[in-house]
Structure 1
């Protein structure tokens, strides 16, 4: 009898929590997921855009679906998505500034033209670009929520009138994440609205960030970071000898004066980058030019101890 009683109390607690709505303060994982979505969107845009563009999560809020859509009436394009495993739908929307900025980014503008400020209706080209972006969002949503739910998202249709963007009763509670797009010294806003009824079954997973901390690394993302790091250019400098002089000695230097070095052909050369010593080397020649052969890695900690301890 005890297990049934515990189960009954557990069901009652779930019903009370569902009726009260989700507390975003107790769902820290939501911010992790939406940050992950912003990163995925930015990474995908860099592959098709010549200029730099950035996505950033600006806020995560809770409110009525109708209130959210009313704020974007006449100034946004909304995409309706279906999440079969959640038995629910959600909305992704782009405001006017987002669409106009994205058009310029994708078609190679340099930002010299003033931004579009008229309140005309969206053109066929702008609607087509929005549809392509919505289709890409299916991947971004799946990638973001993979940490807590293995589900797919299907793009169904797009709407320019918010009263037609129906995913349930307009007074139902929903979670809305807002993202900023920045490119060409201008930007826009994207929003994602998910009914709380779809997130309620996931609240235990969303209540802890341990999934993000212990989850496996994305191999494609890790490889991309590794490739970018490996392509970073650094400057190497081979130091033959160093002297400490006074400011007066520097002021007394004259053109044509010869400075004597204590280094010899047998002296070791220090190879450094950004003032950080890397290797001890030996100087040599090859094909008429000077070369250095790496001898050993410099242990800064050991060198420091050698300098302060008496020999």
Structure 2
């Protein structure tokens, strides 16, 4: 944090009066809160600089970088199949921005694709700059290769241009969802395409969002697009995105879970059937002889307790099957015996 506040100027401490008490005059108060009686300085100081600072604690998401790197390979192939041009897709950066600040910095004209992640029940935004918009439209409508597309200002995008760019955005979202399957399967749907950032507001202006910026080069023409995911959207998979590598397991391990389930099903257990119980004195037990009979308070049709390792499992009836003594459970194991 020391690097973020190196340019902050702290005011001089107040002077001690002869009585020993620290007092502030108006100049000291203005210096403390960052105000100056002269012309406004470009550099803020004091508490005003701390309060109004735009410093964002950037949380690195290693797995999001892996997802984006995997996406650019599949998206380049998808764009080649769509435009029949030589496409080069690269990941420029992954940063964190405040949602309102980033949307206000997008140069217009631009398109904003609002998409929904069904499993997370939240939204994200894809921003496409004008250079990429006109490059895609020019390529899909048969423009010559190698010629840079011209940006036409002063008019809104036509329905055909919006539909063509929406097709490219949907391809990018499909490939992004496909790259995300290694982390968690998701379904992404493009809901609408807007041309004004006001109509694509899916989060508060001060909310922090992760922004992945890509560049698309199409034989001398192209531009950039960004995938913006508010932290509230990626909260369900935040722990997985914080992993340093794909094999790191912060939760349960499915391989060992499956292996243990198979081994448990093949494990042999010893089940005891309690025919009855009788309280006896130690003297009577020690004086027992061969052939002596112990009377139990159980009838032939009474249910007997079934134990495993001393733990009651349920009740069963005793009988005979194929010349063997057998039991038949009359209650479910999980609910057969009161706790």
Name the TM tier (shorter chain).
0.5 to 0.7
Find the counterpart in structure 2 of residue 190 from structure 1.
Answer: 225
- After TM superposition, give the deviation of residue 207 of structure 1 in Å: 2.1
3-state DSSP of counterpart to 1:47: helix
Gaps of 5+ in 1: 1-19, 215-311
- After TM superposition, give the deviation of residue 87 of structure 1 in Å: 2.0
Alignment TM-score, normalising by the size of structure 1: 0.57
3-state DSSP of counterpart to 1:210: coil
Kindly provide the CA deviation profile for residues 169-197 of structure 1, in whole angstroms up to 9, marking residues without a partner as x.
12211001110010121220111000112
Among 69, 83, 90, the alignment partner of 2:103 is: 69
CA distance in 2, matches of 1:212, 1:117: 46
CA distance in 2, matches of 1:91, 1:208: 24
3-state DSSP of counterpart to 1:58: strand
Find the counterpart in structure 2 of residue 135 from structure 1.
Answer: 170
Find the counterpart in structure 2 of residue 39 from structure 1.
Answer: 73
- After TM superposition, give the deviation of residue 113 of structure 1 in Å: 4.1
- After TM superposition, give the deviation of residue 144 of structure 1 in Å: 1.9
Is the contact made by 1:180 and 1:188 (CA closer than 8 Å) also made in structure 2?
yes
Is the contact made by 2:71 and 2:175 (CA closer than 8 Å) also made in structure 1?
yes
CA distance in 2, matches of 1:205, 1:61: 18
Root-mean-square deviation (Å): 2.3
Among 116, 130, 137, the alignment partner of 1:103 is: 137
Kindly provide the CA deviation profile for residues 117-175 of structure 1, in whole angstroms up to 9, marking residues without a partner as x.
33232222211111222332331221121121211111111100011102121221100
Is the contact made by 1:73 and 1:162 (CA closer than 8 Å) also made in structure 2?
no
Find the counterpart in structure 2 of residue 154 from structure 1.
Answer: 189
Find the counterpart in structure 1 of residue 150 from structure 2.
Answer: 116
CA distance in 2, matches of 1:158, 1:43: 23
3-state DSSP of counterpart to 2:82: coil
1:172 aligns with 2:207: yes
How many aligned residue pairs are there?
A: 194
Find the counterpart in structure 2 of residue 200 from structure 1.
Answer: 235
3-state DSSP of counterpart to 2:234: helix
1:126 aligns with 2:161: yes
Is the contact made by 2:94 and 2:210 (CA closer than 8 Å) also made in structure 1?
yes
CA distance in 2, matches of 1:94, 1:115: 15
- After TM superposition, give the deviation of residue 22 of structure 1 in Å: 7.0
In terms of Rg, which structure is larger?
2
CA distance in 2, matches of 1:45, 1:213: 32
3-state DSSP of counterpart to 1:67: helix
Kindly provide the CA deviation profile for residues 228-271 of structure 1, in whole angstroms up to 9, marking residues without a partner as x.
xxxxxxxxxxxxxxxxxxxxxxxxxxxxxxxxxxxxxxxxxxxx
CA distance in 2, matches of 1:58, 1:97: 16
Is the contact made by 1:81 and 1:90 (CA closer than 8 Å) also made in structure 2?
yes
Is the contact made by 1:50 and 1:108 (CA closer than 8 Å) also made in structure 2?
no
Find the counterpart in structure 1 of residue 88 from structure 2.
Answer: 54
CA distance in 1, matches of 2:237, 2:56: 13
CA distance in 1, matches of 2:110, 2:117: 22
- After TM superposition, give the deviation of residue 21 of structure 1 in Å: 8.1
Structure number with the bigger relative contact order (C-alpha 8 A, sep ≥ 6) is 1
Is the contact made by 2:146 and 2:220 (CA closer than 8 Å) also made in structure 1?
no
